[in-house]
Amino acid sequence: MSRNTTRLSDDIKLSFEFFPPKSDEMAGQLWSAVDALKRWNPDFVSVTYGAGGSTRDTTLATVARMTTDAGLPAASHLTCVGATREEVLETVDAFRAVGVRHFVALRGDPQGGVGTDYRPHPGGYANGAELTAGLSALGGLEISVSAYPEKHPESADTNADIEMLKRKADNGATRALTQFFFDNDVFARYLDRVRAAGIEIPIVPGILPVHNLAQVQRFAALCGATVPAFVETALGPVDDQPEERSLRAAELAARQLEGLRRLGIREFHFYTMNRASLINAVLDQAGFADCDAPAAVQAA
């Protein structure tokens, strides 16, 4: 089977994050988004995992189909909150049985919800660094982890966050995917501190093109990210005009990518929200397609 792919400029690598669908209608939306984003020949795609294992079966089915039907290198997110080590490793075995070899290793939010106290399971992995060590010990797995340019809300300070990231890297993580952010200066400062701490793994910025400003503001407040005034000024006044809103959202994200590229960043992780059109517009506008090559080449 052949499919059209867009050749990316220089050595750019893209990854796309999806969430498992909760209904047939959502499944339709997911698979058409996956199909439409294939053209970018992603380095990998990933599927989120409900904290406490709430989406275990749908995540597993989705990742398996990404690999087998869609033919994409797929990673599964994995959280360890509320589970014993044995339970986590049983889950890992189930994913390995369908061919998954790449995990995004996460602690997960507290079981009482964001903002409540986190209590590690007495027989479990206490955090992302311990889970990374557990996965590394199995051998043969690629392990990505989370990173927080604006600090995780539970962290005492940025140093604590960076220490945790260092432990993850020391325990075998090969890349960190960041929480979304909009201000590239925040990312640049964070990257400086990460490198000064001797962490050498790629820190891949998480890019969230804004479909819905109010939703992003709510989510940002929960996860400690900032929605700067320039984003609100650009998108707020056109919130009820879907076409203009999409144009502006694409332009904002495209400019963010261009800025990150000027900082030397070559890997980008997209929070897709299971939709393709805005991401396609962003990548087209940011000029990520190789202009010297035919726009579409046939790939096996």
Binding site residues, ligand FAD, CB under 6 A: 48-51, 77, 79, 104, 106-109, 118, 127-128, 146, 152, 154-155, 160-161, 164, 177, 179, 206
Exposed, middle or buried, 85 (CB in 10 Å: 0-12/13-18/19+)?
A: middle
Token code pair at residue 149: 């340019």
The tokens describing 145, both together, are 């982890």
Least Cβ distance, residue 164 to ligand FAD (angstroms): 3
Q: Which of 183, 169, 177 is nearest to 228 (CA)?
A: 183
Q: What's the closest the beta carbon of residue 25 comes to ligand FAD, in angstroms?
A: 22
**By C-beta, is 173 or 289 nearer to ligand FAD?**
173
Residue among 63 and 252 whose Cβ is closer to ligand FAD: 63
Q: Give the residue with the Cβ less far from ligand FAD, 6 or 76.
A: 76
| Strands 297-299, 3-5: pairing kind | antiparallel
Instruction: Give the separation between CA 43 and CA 2, rounded to whole angstroms.
Output: 18
CB of 169 to ligand FAD, least distance (A): 12
Classified as helix, coil or strand, 228 is coil
Residue 42, C-beta contacts closer than 8 angstroms, at least 6 positions apart: 13, 14, 15, 16, 72, 73
* Catalytic center residues: 17
Least CB distance to ligand FAD at residue 30 (A): 15
Task: Return d(Cα 289, Cα 254) in angstroms, integer.
Answer: 13
| Whether the Cβ atoms of residue 278 and residue 249 lie closer than 8 Å to each other | yes
User: Closer to ligand FAD at the Cβ: 92 or 289?
Assistant: 92
Distance CA 276, CA 112 (A): 33
